[in-house]
Structures are given as structure tokens and as C-alpha cells.
Amino acid sequence: MDEREASLENYMGGWWDGCSQCSAWCDEINDAETDEKKQQIIDENLTHYAGVWLCEDCLNDVKAREEG
Ligand SMILES: [Zn+2]
């Protein structure tokens, strides 16, 4: 199990904060009726990066910052 899977497993069934920087998708994920639906929203919109979940905008910000 990789780090992303471990994190996903850890959060599944519990509360999602959505994007760790801007909380995007938080409501959508927590309102999802099934784990499948939840996972689909996560797969489509959040990326596990450097130990946290980020939306596409924040992922681009973080990467841009890292590249200086
Ligand atoms: Zn974000």
C-alpha cells in the first residue's frame, strides 16, 4: 500500500477536509452518499501530494512555489 492509498483508507468513512489549503471539495465529499461516489470526487479533483490532499489550483501553486 502506497502513501496515497494509506491516506485514502485513513480518511474513508471519516470526515474529509477536502483540499488541505483551501478546503475545496470538502462539502461535496462529505455529502457523497456512497464511498464509491466519494472516491470518484476525490479521484477527479484531489491529488495526494507531499503527504496532503490538494485541489488542482493549490497543487499548481505548491509546485510553482517549489520550483521557485
Ligand atoms: Zn485548494
**R_g of the chain computed on alpha carbons:** 12
pLDDT (0 to 100) of residue 12: 82
Sign of CA dihedral 53, 58, 63, 65: negative
pLDDT in tens, 15-67: 899 999 999 999 999 999 999 999 999 999 999 999 999 999 999 999 999 99
- Cα–Cα dist 20/27, whole Å: 13
Ligand 1 ion local residues (Cβ < 5 A): 19, 21-22, 24, 55, 58
Copy the grid coordinates of residue 38: 466519494
CA of 35 to the centre of ligand 1 (A): 21
Task: Using alpha carbons, select from 35, 59, 36, 37 the residue that is nearest to residue 47.
Answer: 59
- Cα–Cα dist 41/26, whole Å: 10
